[in-house]
Amino acid sequence: MTRETASPQLQAIKVACSNCNLRELCMPVGLEEQQLKRLDEIVAMRRKVKRGGTLFRNGEPFTSLFAIRTGFFKTCVATEDGRDQVTGFQMAGEIIGLDGIVNDHHTCDAVALEDAEVCVMPFDRIEELSREVTALQTHVHKIMSREIVREHGVMLLLGSMRADERLAAFLLNLVQRLHTRGFSQSELVLRMTREEIGSYLGLKLETVSRTFSKFVEDGIVEVKQRHVRIVDTAALKRIVNSQQACH
Amino acid sequence: MTRETASPQLQAIKVACSNCNLRELCMPVGLEEQQLKRLDEIVAMRRKVKRGGTLFRNGEPFTSLFAIRTGFFKTCVATEDGRDQVTGFQMAGEIIGLDGIVNDHHTCDAVALEDAEVCVMPFDRIEELSREVTALQTHVHKIMSREIVREHGVMLLLGSMRADERLAAFLLNLVQRLHTRGFSQSELVLRMTREEIGSYLGLKLETVSRTFSKFVEDGIVEVKQRHVRIVDTAALKRIVNSQQACH
DNA sequence: CGTCAAATTGACAGCACTCAACGCCGGTGG
DNA sequence: CCACCGGCGTTGAGTGCTGTCAATTTGACG
């Protein structure tokens, strides 16, 4: 098992942002030809990460943000005493590594859940260019703000939802993001284990499994290992904001 | 009770960042005289918010970030079905409003827990100036990254800690931030109710109260309403990373 | 002194955790 | 080809932490 590549696989940049099919996901839109060309300067290179390998680790020096081209990542923080928490799952078109900016070193691990490829964007180059290209500056700010808002949502989930509400919200979020990328609205393949889902949702893996089973019993989803088919999206949405309304 | 001022109290800027005693908390450090002067352009005005009043609300258009000069805020998100979650408590020198950048409107409420005054910093002005002053650009990025990292910590807390661990972590964080601002390392006055603490920590107010009582029994803290004296800081730290180590 | 919000405390219940056994599936080696 | 293995997932039984509901106390304020 190659858990990690001692010398990460790098390759010279061949495909430019200007004609990348994921551009509208990770780059600003509505740019003029000239500005678009300049964006190509941002991506220094590509880097491949094998399943199970890490893009970066807690404590490593921060130099670059990464735009995911293909594959699927999780980010997780850990305490000295072995406790750890998945803080997010990232897929193609999403930006990863923002945590490293504040202290010039990363504060979480980014692990590939399937073979992945990322665009390496040196942060000093991003800062330099965003001083000249206003649209890029705005875009960087929005990406960071979006991450803050996303985490607010996770805090709401972790702080005030029951297990079934958490899992329902998780599935809806995942399938919605996949749909944006051209996948089905109702079918998805989970790239993470039950334990990783549980860590993200603040639940134990058994609870995740049980909750899946309950959804199956209720005819809301069909589950076959990591293949999930959402049969009744409306029911999931009802669960998310049910608040277990009593009285 | 003035819950909110229909026309917010505004006042022309008198005191400049360049000689503000909170500057090292909310502004970049190590600037030259000339750049320091330019920072003064950022703060458009001051705004007072009474206890219980809102600085901004979910849905309101976003125009500015706010630097807290005096007072104490909470930010909270809510769902349609009445569930809500305190996402953070902010004190003097901290920046508030970052959530609004991504969609040009705020996605949470900012409520003053005591009479407060903030510096209003129009975001377009921040963006404009940070294109010219590199230190400001970097600073803005670091502030947003810091917020992301902070929220990672909250997610870890909400996702994997027991009630006493959460409260211990909360107290230590609060007293540490107050200490940075020149207050005691061991004494603090809570500006928020048990319910607000509970909302932040993902607990019910009764659990917060009970956990306080347990700490008092164990001789770790002294509590008299909102006055808290930390008697045994080491014990609190032990609780935070106890992980309830078994075996 | 009366009022009301906030906080405390008790009794009880329930949801999620713990511990454990078992099943499924892909990989590996004989 | 098949048996074995290990990781992952499911399910069951029992426990306990935290939530729920309710009564009471405290303290601030008019």
A209, A218 Cβ separation under 8 angstroms: no
Give residue A6's pLDDT band: very low, low, confident or very high (50, 70, 90).
Answer: very low
Among B101, B155, B160, select the one facing A141 at the smallest CB separation.
Answer: B101
Q: Is the pLDDT of residue A10 over 70?
A: no
How far, in Å, CA of A209 to CA of A205, rounded?
Answer: 6
How far, in Å, CA of B167 to CA of B169, rounded?
Answer: 5
* Better-scored residue on pLDDT, A193 or B4: A193
Residue that has been written with the tokens 């992945």 in this structure: A116
Residue among B180, B201, B184 nearest B192 (CA): B201
Q: Is the pLDDT of residue B15 over 70?
A: no
* Exposure on the CB side of residue B184, measured as CA atoms within 13 A: 11
**Separation between the CA of B241 and the C1’ of C3 (whole angstroms):** 44
Give residue B103's pLDDT band: very low, low, confident or very high (50, 70, 90).
Answer: very high
Inspect the interface and report whether the beta carbons of B80 and A241 lie closer than 8 Å: yes
Any CB–CB contact under 8 A between A156 and chain B?
yes
Bridge partners, residue B125, by sequence: none
Give the pLDDT mean for A7-14: 53
Burial pattern B169-178, b for ≥16 Cβ within 10 A else e, equals: bbbbbbbebb
Any CB–CB contact under 8 A between A245 and chain B?
yes
Q: List helix spans (H) across chain B.
A: 23-26, 33-39, 123-132, 134-160, 163-180, 194-201, 205-217, 233-240
Q: Is the pLDDT of residue B1 over 50?
A: no
As given in the structure block, the two tokens for residue B202 are 């993902």
Among A101, A138, A155, select the one facing B151 at the smallest CB separation.
Answer: A155
How far, in Å, CA of B176 to CA of A214, rounded?
Answer: 44
Residue among B78, B238, B63, B118 nearest B168 (CA): B238
Residue among B115, B124, B8, B1 nearest B56 (CA): B8
Q: Which residues of A touch B156 (CB under 8 A)?
A: 77, 79, 83-85, 87
How far, in Å, CA of B97 to CA of B192, rounded?
Answer: 20
Q: Which residues contact A59 (CB under 8 A, 6 or more apart)?
A: A105, A106
B7: DSSP letter: S
Q: A45-49, A53-57, A148-152, B23-27: which range is least confident on average? A: B23-27
Mean pLDDT (chain B) is 91
Q: Which residues contact B201 (CB under 8 A, 6 or more apart)?
A: A159, B157, B158, B163, B166, B167, B170, B208
Q: Is the pLDDT of residue A49 over 70?
A: yes
β-strand B95-96 against B84-91: which pairing, if any? unpaired
Q: Which residues of B touch A146 (CB under 8 A)?
A: 102
Q: What is the pLDDT of residue B12?
A: 53
Q: Please list the residue range(s) of chain B that carry CATH number 1.10.10.10.
A: 162-240
Q: What is the pLDDT of residue B79?
A: 87
Q: B32-36, B107-111, B161-165, B166-170: which range is least confident on average? A: B32-36
As given in the structure block, the two tokens for residue B107 are 């996605």
* Better-scored residue on pLDDT, B16 or B66: B66
* A193-212 residues touching B, CB cutoff 8 A: 199-202
Q: What is the pLDDT of residue B53?
A: 94
Strand D closer than 7 Å to the CB of A1? no
Q: Is the pLDDT of residue B220 over 70?
A: yes
Residue that has been written with the tokens 């998780």 in this structure: A170
- Which CATH superfamily is A9-157 part of? Jelly Rolls (2.60.120.10)
Any CB–CB contact under 8 A between A101 and chain B?
yes
A70, A127 Cβ separation under 8 angstroms: no
Q: What is the pLDDT of residue A19?
A: 81
As given in the structure block, the two tokens for residue B74 are 């909470």
B26, B97 Cβ separation under 8 angstroms: no
Give residue B14's pLDDT band: very low, low, confident or very high (50, 70, 90).
Answer: low
Any CB–CB contact under 8 A between B134 and chain A?
yes
Strand D closer than 7 Å to the CB of B204? yes
pLDDT digits (tens, 9 = 90+) for A59-112: 999 999 999 999 999 999 998 888 889 999 999 999 999 999 999 999 999 999
B212: DSSP letter: H
Give the pLDDT mean for B39-53: 92
Tell me if residue B161 falls in helix, strand or coil: coil
Distances (CA, A) of A220 to A54, A168, A204, A226, B79: 35, 10, 21, 16, 23
B73, B111 Cβ separation under 8 angstroms: yes
Which element (helix H / strand E) includes B133? Answer: none
Q: Which residues contact B105 (CB under 8 A, 6 or more apart)?
A: B59, B60, B61, B62
Q: How far apart are the first and last CA of chain A?
A: 55
**Separation between the CA of B70 and the C1’ of C8 (whole angstroms):** 31
A53, A5 Cβ separation under 8 angstroms: yes
β-strand A187-189 against A227-230: which pairing, if any? antiparallel
Which element (helix H / strand E) includes A35? Answer: helix A33-39
Q: Is the pLDDT of residue B23 over 90?
A: no
Tell me if residue B229 falls in helix, strand or coil: strand
Instruction: Tell me what percent of the residues of chain A surpass a pLDDT of 70.
Output: 92
A105, A59 Cβ separation under 8 angstroms: yes
Q: Which residues of A touch B158 (CB under 8 A)?
A: 155, 158-159, 202
* Better-scored residue on pLDDT, B244 or B140: B140
Mean pLDDT (chain A) is 91
* Domain covering B162-240: architecture: Orthogonal Bundle (1.10)
Distances (CA, A) of A73 to A50, A104, B61, B193: 11, 21, 33, 39
How far, in Å, CA of A162 to CA of A113, rounded?
Answer: 26
Give residue A24's pLDDT band: very low, low, confident or very high (50, 70, 90).
Answer: confident
Q: A76-80, B174-178, B242-246: which range is least confident on average? A: B242-246
Q: Is the pLDDT of residue B50 over 60?
A: yes
Query: Which residue gives the smallest C-alpha to C1' distance to C5?
Result: B193
Q: Which residues of A touch B242 (CB under 8 A)?
A: 81
Q: Please list the residue range(s) of chain B that carry CATH number 2.60.120.10.
A: 9-157
Give residue B4's pLDDT band: very low, low, confident or very high (50, 70, 90).
Answer: very low
**Separation between the CA of A137 and the C1’ of D13 (whole angstroms):** 57
Inspect the interface and report whether the beta carbons of A144 and B149 lie closer than 8 Å: no
Chain B interface test: which of A101, A195, A200 (most B C-beta within 10 Å): A101
Strand D closer than 7 Å to the CB of A225? yes
Q: Is the pLDDT of residue A2 over 60?
A: no
**Separation between the CA of B38 and the C1’ of C12 (whole angstroms):** 63
Give the pLDDT mean for A5-17: 57
Inspect the interface and report whether the beta carbons of B200 and A145 lie closer than 8 Å: no
Q: Which residues of B touch A130 (CB under 8 A)?
A: 131, 137
